[in-house]
Amino acid sequence: MKNKDDALDIVQETAYRSFLKLNTLNDLKFFKTWIIKITINCAIDFLRKKKKVVHLNIEDDEFISNSTEDIPLSLTLQDLLEALNEDEKTVLLLKYYQGYTFSEISEILNIPLSTVKSVLYRALQNLRKKTRRVDMYEQ
């Protein structure tokens, strides 16, 4: 969510929705999957409602305009993840950060197993393209 206040809003909305829909949880052993699905849906709903605006600090503007050097672009993991669409980001995070299997991700997101795999591999391909080093300097 990029900031603490938005993340707390998602946590609060998740708690609220899960309390309202507690009767839909049939088996307690699926609680973790159930609550993660609610959290993902809350986060996606929040992001859809909120427009993305990038603010440029005045200090950064002066630095950029006064710079005569060629500054290499440094990519952070957060920047790379932001380049992905929501589906790709969700599948990638569930697979590599939460450690879910393809079939578990398929159940959580209610999408076919083959779709989960293709979304993940497309996301990885997009990340590879972003991180591929190109010769920036000619000598």
Q: Which pLDDT score, from 0 to 100, does residue 112 have?
A: 93
Q: Which pLDDT score, from 0 to 100, does residue 43 have?
A: 87
Where in the chain do CATH 1.10.10.10 domains reside? 73-133
Which residue is listed with tokens 């950060």?
Answer: 97
Q: Which pLDDT score, from 0 to 100, does residue 3 have?
A: 84
Dihedral angle computed from the Cα positions of residues 40, 44, 50 and 54, in that order, rounded to the nearest 10 degrees: 90
Q: Which pLDDT score, from 0 to 100, does residue 60 have?
A: 47
CB of 79 closer than 8 Å to CB of 121: no
Q: Which pLDDT score, from 0 to 100, does residue 45 have?
A: 82
CB of 108 closer than 8 Å to CB of 37: yes
What is the CATH number assigned to the segment(s) 73-133?
1.10.10.10
d(CA 67, CA 69): 6
Residue 133 pLDDT grade (very low, low, confident, very high; cuts 50, 70, 90):
low
pLDDT per residue as tens digits for the range 61-112 = 444 444 444 444 445 677 777 888 888 988 988 898 888 899 989 988 889 9
How far out from the chain centre does Cα 94 lie?
10
Is the whole-model pTM more than 0.85?
Answer: no
Query: Is the four-CA dihedral 139, 79, 56, 85 of positive or negative sign?
Result: positive
pLDDT per residue as tens digits for the range 24-53 = 888 889 899 899 989 988 888 887 777 554
Q: Is the pLDDT of residue 137 over 50?
A: no
